[in-house]
A and B are shown apart, each in its own frame.
Chain A
Amino acid sequence: DGGITQSPKYLFRKEGQNVTLSCEQNLNHDAMYWYRQDPGQGLRLIYYSQIVNDFQKGDIAEGYSVSREKKESFPLTVTSAQKNPTAFYLCASSGRRGFKNEQFFGPGTRLTVL
């Protein structure tokens, strides 16, 4: 089955520690994204990547870092510089089918910093 996987589903970390969230897709999509969702809120873009070895900051990139060494993978590191890291993190990918653009999401990782 084609899709997007995120791991782990739940993650607990102590304050001051860096943590890396995994995102893998087998949809052969060029573009991948990371969003943050807070309780009762919409989606805010952290980083996105249009192609391997290239990525751009989104609206709330401070305290986060990413890499895109492979087309299938787009890991997100939440650093100790992120002041309020507890949130639900969503990875997405998008691709074109002819003229059609579609974006699909993974199941999410809930990060709790203690």
Chain B
Amino acid sequence: GQQLNQSPQSMFIQEGEDVSMNCTSSSIFNTWLWYKQDPGEGPVLLIALYKAGELTSNGRLTAQFGITRKDSFLNISASIPSDVGIYFCAGHEGTYKYIFGTGTRLKVLA
């Protein structure tokens, strides 16, 4: 099945640093979703984007829906240890299926 290209695959950062990750697709999407998954838990929806160019924030998290509708970006500002986890993007094109990225593993060094 199709998967979105998500980068970086993993990253180690110092507490307090800003983090950026992105997701790209060969297909156009109407919706981009960003999730965080803690070990042994289900993914939790962080941010949903519905319009090309849209910029949406949720606390220290900011996500953008790319102008081409084929990419999306997630930024985390001033990272803290509890930001550790796996971040997934997902694209939705109007059918009932969601296409997921391969995930970015974030580790924060105190």
Residues of A within 8 A of B (CB): 4, 6, 31, 33, 42-45, 48, 50, 58-60, 88, 90, 94, 99-108, 110
List the B side residues contacting A103 at CB < 8 Å. 33, 45, 90, 92, 98
- Which residue from B42, B48, B50 sits with its C-beta under 8 Å from A108? B42
The chain A residue sitting closest to B35, CB to CB, is A105
Please count the residue pairs between chain A and chain B whose beta carbons lie under 8 angstroms apart in the complex: 55
- Which residue from A42, A48, A108 sits with its C-beta under 8 Å from B88? A42
List the B side residues contacting A104 at CB < 8 Å. 45
List the A side residues contacting B50 at CB < 8 Å. 99-100
Residues of B within 8 A of A (CB): 1, 3, 30-31, 33, 35, 40-45, 48, 50, 88, 90, 92, 96-98, 100-103
List the B side residues contacting A107 at CB < 8 Å. 41-42
B41 near A108: Cβ-Cβ < 8 Å: yes
A90 near B43: Cβ-Cβ < 8 Å: yes
Nearest CB in chain A: distance from B75 CB, A: 21
- Which residue from A50, A59, A90, A99 sits with its C-beta under 8 Å from B96? A50
The chain B residue sitting closest to A51, CB to CB, is B96
- Which residue from A90, A101, A105, A110 sits with its C-beta under 8 Å from B92? A101
**Complex Cα gap A42–B103 (Å):** 6
**Complex Cα gap A45–B2 (Å):** 10
The chain B residue sitting closest to A42, CB to CB, is B102
List 19 interface pairs A-B (beta carbons < 8 Å), by A numbering: A4-B42, A6-B42, A42-B102, A44-B1, A58-B1, A88-B40, A90-B43, A94-B96, A94-B98, A99-B50, A100-B50, A101-B92, A102-B33, A103-B98, A105-B35, A105-B42, A105-B45, A108-B40, A110-B40
